[in-house]
Amino acid sequence: MTVIDANATAVPGVRVDWAIITGNGGSLSQTVDSTDSKGVATTLLTLGGATTYVVTATVTGLPQVTFTATAAAPPVRDSVAVKDNFFHPDSVVLQVNDTVYWTWAGTQQHNVTFGPGMASATQSSGTYSKQFTTPGKFAYTCTLHAAMKGVVVVVN
């Protein structure tokens, strides 16, 4: 936030108190700051598990200012086309317990292989699906085409 005077001139050295009034688990990098030479005071809000956060900036003698932040769910993309010879998209991000569905969309034979015991059949049509129950980064390939690579990123 910026503190200015009646002439719209920045005011340095003004104490600003920051507080989270809504938003469980959130934290501020600092709860007290002084405006700099440009009249700017800052804090950094780190989100926790809540969806909505309201942060107030208080300067003695001035109306309180409120800021609102809304947390969005991680992007979810759970369909991948198995083409000749690439995965599209080659990177997906999803939440824990979501499932990725691969659909064969080319004419050649391919597979989706994460590792031993974690692979689709080698096929030229059809689908393969896998549910991801733990966060992490899971790389896979088609063992017939080493350049076919993909990754599934699972977040909480």
Judged by the rule CB under 5 A, the positions of this chain that interact with Cu ion are 110, 142, 144-145, 148
Measured between alpha carbons, how far is 2 from 14 in angstroms, rounded to an integer? 10
Q: Least separation, in Å, of the C-beta of 110 and Cu ion?
A: 3
* Shorter beta-carbon distance to Cu ion: residue 145 or 149: 145
Q: Least separation, in Å, of the C-beta of 130 and Cu ion?
A: 17
* Shorter beta-carbon distance to Cu ion: residue 21 or 144: 144
Long-range contacts of 2-6 (CB under 8 A, 24+ apart): 2/35, 2/38, 2/39, 2/40, 2/41, 3/35, 3/39, 3/40, 3/41, 3/59, 3/62, 4/39
* Shorter beta-carbon distance to Cu ion: residue 77 or 145: 145
Q: Least separation, in Å, of the C-beta of 87 and Cu ion?
A: 9
